[in-house]
Amino acid sequence: MRGPHNIIRLIRTGATLERTGAMGVVLDAFEAPPALRAFARALGKPFAWLGYEGDPAMPPATRALTALGPAYIKFGQVLSTRPDVVGEEMAAQLRVLQDKLPPFPRDVALAEVEKELGQPVAEMFDDFSQPIAAASIAQVHKARLVGTGRDVAVKVLRPGIEKAFRKDVDAFYFAAWIIERLAPGARRLRPMDVITHFDGVVRGELDLRLESSAASEFADNTAGDEGFRLPPVIWSLSARRVMTLGWADGVPLGDNAAIDAAGHDRPALAARVLRLFLMHALRDGYFHADMHQGNLKVAPDGDIIAYDFGIMGHIDEYTRRVYAEILFGFIRRDYKRVAEVHFEAGYVPADQDVDEFARALRAVGEPIFGMDASHISMGRLLNYLFEVTERFGMETRTELILLQRTMVVVEGVARSLDPHINIWEVARPVVEDYIKKSIGPRAVGSDLARTARVLARFGPRLPGLVERALIAQATRKEPDPQGWTRWICPASLGALAGGGLVAIIELLL
């Protein structure tokens, strides 16, 4: 939050918001209090002539963010995953934010590739195309590997993008600092936390080694998934600013006419997209969090191909079990069990009334189940669920918000392929299968085996720990029933608690 550039950048930002007509839209989305509105207007109105005009054909918010440049475009995309912060209407607008900028010259990309990979381009590629796609952070070229004739996709970061992002993110932190001081009521939105989250996402996308790693892990997890594949990472031609993947031939999943012309079964594709997402989220706890049509293709053999792994979602095992029980409870319309799961997981404070919460959940579920099957939405259900749990004191859980946002996007993809898809009918077998494997008797045996393995690792140390504790207790002058704990090595105790004991407690819960 240093330097005069922050103030200058904020003035230019306010001026652009004012000039594009986005100022009121953004302030309303954030439910800005009067003091903050006055400050924003003072920052924007007198300097509106300094603002960028943007594309008048775009909605005001997306027009302003696109005009302000790469960091703002990416910020808008990240905010689209946080309807808890900007509201559903604004999040929906930001989801369609165009992430397209003019490409940088091919010669510049070639120089970046040579610099990062340490070899002349001619020794790596027989052919290297003009940019075929250009986004806010990087652009993609089609190339052909020397000797093999194999086609690949080469992603190259924009020159100077790291410096540009650092400058703008610095200004974002400064703006969040001002908001927290001018509008104490806005602290519930945790503006500093939002910027910190954005900063983390961007740092990950500015190091293509991390995206390569994400792609590799995702490929390992999904290797056995029928009808789904990923372009392989070519590690020898990937680095911090360059990533090379196998080329993915196929029809864009958003082009229904081309899909029909290729003879693919669109309802089957719709069901598979939804099933795959739920499998990845529940089974693996690691899912593609940007599964829109632009990142999906249909291969000639009918396989779905996913790419662009800059935004991935992660859910720990315990949260997956809770999430699955909640979904399963809604599918069975067992609202009391859904309420109990929230309390057992500690999502809702214990001082709330479980029966009253169950009745509130029924008010969420029943109207949705009363809809025609083609209109039932799991994403809408989760959105309503979060609204109810917030009223009962549940804190925002970022990983579930990202899951809900991705669920909405995946449902949109599925419905674009098959407007009559029954979301529950497709989801039920995936959720039931996960429930059987992770919560049923088989899961109990698996948890016990894992706990035994953890305890076995510390087994050789247990006799010594007990002996030292007994000796220490015996040599004390005054009885102290709990004094022995002070003699146990803190690291050993922490390791034991963090391994076997925590596993046992989790199992019992």
User: Where are the chain's structural domains?
Assistant: 5-98+162-202, 105-157+207-247, 248-439, 444-508
Helix residue ranges, H only, 232-352 = 256-261, 266-279, 317-332, 335-344
| Predicted local distance difference test score (pLDDT) of residue 492 | 37
Is 298 in contact with 260 (CB distance < 8 Å)?
A: no
pTM of the model: 0.73
Cα separation, 414 vs 266, whole angstroms = 9
Per residue in 296-320, pLDDT tens?
A: 999 999 999 998 888 888 888 888 8
pLDDT (0 to 100) of residue 460: 75
Helix (H, G, I), strand (E, B) or coil at 239: coil
Architecture of domain 105-157+207-247: 2-Layer Sandwich (3.30)
Tally helices (H) and strands (E) across the chain.
24, 10
Q: Which of 168, 170, 225, 290 is catalytic?
A: 290
Q: Are strands 312-314 and 286-288 parallel, antiparallel or unpaired?
A: antiparallel
- State how far the Cα of 346 lies from the Cα of 402, in Å rounded to an integer: 20
**Residue 245: closest CA among 146, 154, 144:** 154
Q: What is the pLDDT of residue 504?
A: 35
pLDDT at 81 (0 to 100) = 64
- For residue 214, the tally of other CB atoms under 10 A from its CB is 19
What are the per-10-residue average pLDDT scores of the chain (509 residues)?
A: 67 83 76 73 73 82 84 79 68 67 90 94 94 88 93 94 85 80 62 78 86 94 94 95 93 91 94 93 90 89 92 86 82 87 84 89 78 66 71 70 79 87 84 77 64 68 76 63 41 38 38
Which residue from 66, 75, 121 is spatially nearest to 242, judged by alpha carbons? Answer: 121
Active site includes 301?
Answer: no
8 Å CB contact between 496 and 458: yes
DSSP conformation letters of 453-503 = HHHHHHGGGHHHHHHHHHHHHHH-SS--TTGGGGGS-HHHHHHHIIIIIHH
pLDDT of residue 108: 95
State how far the alpha carbon of 372 is from the alpha carbons of 268, 369, 382, in Å: 20, 8, 18
Residues 243 and 233: beta-carbon distance below 8 Å: yes
